[in-house]
Structure 1
Amino acid sequence: MHTDPATASTEPVVPPAARPEGDGDPAVRTVRRALIIFNRNAGGGRKVARLDETVTRLTEAGVEVEIHLTSFAGDAEQTAHAARFLGSGPDVVICAGGDGTLNEVVNGLAGGDTPLALLPIGTANVLAAEIGLATDIDTVVDTIFHGRPVPVHLGMANGRYFTLMTGVGLDAEVVASVDRKLKRKTGKLAYGLATLKRWSVYRDHHFRVTVDGMEHRAAGVIVANGHYYGGRFVCAENARITEPGLHVCLFQKPGRWQAIYYMMALFGGFLDRLNTYKVIPGRDIHIADDRDGPVQGDGDIITQLPLTIGVAPETVRILMPRG
């Protein structure tokens, strides 16, 4: 584990910009120690300045900051999990990365009391959109000190937690085929190229989907825990991460051009008006196929088919912005 600590006073902290004028502000959280889990490759590695500015703001406010730079798959999860059981652990864990890094951190913190704050520096930052967190540093730092720690309900796919969604079909194949080096350099362009690659070899196909005992067939499936997908595009209008329950999005019609039409409908905001698209609430979901296939969760590949999905009994406390 590589750490780069920056230490200061251990007195309870009220950031200078938020010091109350009266007898005190009960909304200000006490933050003495913060652990930042930083994926330097997130957002193409172009956003180190955002991390530096956040660290400067925290240390100037008297917070003892430790930075952990992730170096391998699963590193963020292990680090977050270890932080839960430290006797003098951090008052807050800050995830500086994208949704994939957040997935790891959530898997490390789930079921514990340590609050999680977001420093969004990824490609899509869907979870930040889901909780209404603006990505400017003023809002991020304000949320660390003033944010409400709200229990967020999680889904579970083959034993692994997800916060936003899990899926099979074209979207999972795209995630599996993204060139990681190109992603670090170009961000969303890498996804566009991977989509063209997978679309060019697309073959009509159906998955067997069982939702709470009812059987369905679909060319692609997204099981949503939140209502945004791929940024601020709405996939499941009624899904909320603060409520227990999942929404199974069935793309029922196969076909290469149909896949393009589904994407256009998603980006254009009329997906829910298609008669070949259906959203079904569910808690016990099974997806099967005659072949192995990748399963994406929160934008990274997390497991393989066959797939069992359910509502996790654990939650994670995420700091929500004010307003």
Structure 2
Amino acid sequence: MRDNNKKNLLIILNPVAGRRLQRKFNNIVNILQKNGLSVTIKETRYAGHGKEIAGENVNEGYDMIIAAGGDGTINEVINGIYPHQIAFGIIPLGTANVLAKEISLGEKANDIADCLINGHSSPCWLGKANGRYFTLMTSVGLDSLAVAHVSTRLKKNIGKGAYALSFIWQVIKSKNIIYQVTSDGKIHSAYNVIITNGRLYGGQYICAPKARLEDKKLYLLLAQRGGRFNALKYAYLMLSQKYPESRTVTTLPITQATIKCGHDNIPVQIDGDAIGCLPAEVSLSEYALNLIRPVETNM
């Protein structure tokens, strides 16, 4: 559904960006203002501030709330908006920008501004892990360990490469941890667990081809072989777009799941940020957000 009543916009900006991204952001704001839109910008100052700003302003008369930053910033803002039905847009300025790729949002300032001006509102169902909502995924295993222990300095300097280095380090020091997943009345075991709301993982890599943000459904991916060799093999399969086809990866549509293991301090990640440790209770949201996406894309 096209939304033609977007006049008063609130942008929640994570200001931690390089000069190139700052110029891009300024260009987007200039385009919005030249098209007659009123733009208010509020910057985040600490972790969790995006959620606070969104929650404080969701009923303040804005026609749309926009998250400007990476997937972590987007996650904070959606947790502040939910369950309100205000239009929600994104300006991707992060490392992976998975949600932007999920909705086929272009990278250029003109493309992003055009989406915010002329885009249409589509339902985006959310997952929920231990009380926190996510647009993309939650996971447990080597990838969540890599996310939890990634170097902030390396992430700032080399972007996604920091996650790759963190993952390799976790493979080197890894233990064969088996996770127990109870989902929709059935019990499963796996060495890595991904529960996803969308098709993509870590950027442009397809992990669940049938997943769609508008479907009230999650997908559970279970990696059934452990050890360093298989961890590297699964990474290769993901990078080569063959992960969903592997005979040792089970993919199931689900509505809820509980994840446990016999080890302490195993981190859980959602949308690229660690949120605590196992056990994890995962479910679907009761309501969908109104996500603004490019006109030419379908959910």
- Same fold, TM-score > 0.5, yes or no: yes
CA contact (8 A) 1:76 1:104 kept: yes
The reply to whether residue 251 of structure 1 matches residue 219 of structure 2 is no
Residues 28 and 161 of structure 1, relative CA distance in 2, 3 Å threshold: closer
Unpaired segments of 5 or more residues in structure 2? none
Residues 28 and 247 of structure 1, relative CA distance in 2, 3 Å threshold: closer
Residue from 20, 28, 34 that aligns with 1:54: 28
Residue from 29, 35, 46 that aligns with 2:10: 35
The reply to whether residue 180 of structure 1 matches residue 180 of structure 2 is no
1:306 matched to which residue of 2? 279
How far did residue 107 of structure 1 move? 0.7
> Aligned AA for 2:80?
G
Residue from 174, 178, 182 that aligns with 1:202: 174
> What are the within-5 Å matches in structure 2 for residues 167-246 of structure 1?
167-246=139-218
CA contact (8 A) 1:292 1:306 kept: no
> Aligned AA for 2:190?
A
2:258 matched to which residue of 1? 286
> What are the within-5 Å matches in structure 2 for residues 1-323 of structure 1?
29-41=4-16, 46-86=20-60, 89-290=61-262, 291-323=264-296
CA contact (8 A) 2:25 2:109 kept: no
* Aligned-residue identity in percent: 36
CA contact (8 A) 1:249 1:280 kept: yes
Residues 250 and 166 of structure 1, relative CA distance in 2, 3 Å threshold: same
Q: Deviations over 1:217-262 (max 9, x none)?
A: 1001000111110111111111111100111000111101100000
Q: Distance in 2 between matches of 1:143 and 1:225?
A: 22
Runs of 4+ in 1 over 3 A off after TM superposition: none
Per the alignment, in what secondary structure is the counterpart of residue 47 of structure 1? helix
Q: Distance in 2 between matches of 1:51 and 1:110?
A: 25
> Aligned AA for 1:41?
V
Q: Distance in 2 between matches of 1:60 and 1:117?
A: 18
Could you tell me the TM-score, scaled by structure 1's length? Answer: 0.88
Per the alignment, in what secondary structure is the counterpart of residue 95 of structure 1? strand
Q: Distance in 1 between matches of 2:259 and 2:126?
A: 18
> Aligned AA for 1:152?
C
> Aligned AA for 1:163?
T
Q: Deviations over 1:37-61 (max 9, x none)?
A: 111225x675111111011112222
Q: Distance in 1 between matches of 2:125 and 2:6?
A: 24
CA contact (8 A) 1:287 1:307 kept: yes
Q: Distance in 1 between matches of 2:213 and 2:295?
A: 17
Q: Distance in 1 between matches of 2:20 and 2:139?
A: 28
1:13 matched to which residue of 2? none
Q: Deviations over 1:122-167 (max 9, x none)?
A: 1111101111111211111111111111110011111110111000
How far did residue 28 of structure 1 move? 6.6
How far did residue 293 of structure 1 move? 1.2
Q: Distance in 2 between matches of 1:221 and 1:46?
A: 36
> Aligned AA for 1:182?
L
Q: Deviations over 1:258-309 (max 9, x none)?
A: 0000010011111123221110111120100122311000111123210111
How far did residue 62 of structure 1 move? 2.5
Per the alignment, in what secondary structure is the counterpart of residue 72 of structure 1? coil
Q: Deviations over 1:179-220 (max 9, x none)?
A: 112212221121122112211101111001111111111001
Residues 27 and 243 of structure 1, relative CA distance in 2, 3 Å threshold: closer
Q: Distance in 2 between matches of 1:216 and 1:27?
A: 42
CA contact (8 A) 1:37 1:69 kept: yes
Residues 182 and 267 of structure 1, relative CA distance in 2, 3 Å threshold: same
Per the alignment, in what secondary structure is the counterpart of residue 278 of structure 1? strand
* Bigger CA radius of gyration: 1
CA contact (8 A) 2:66 2:88 kept: yes
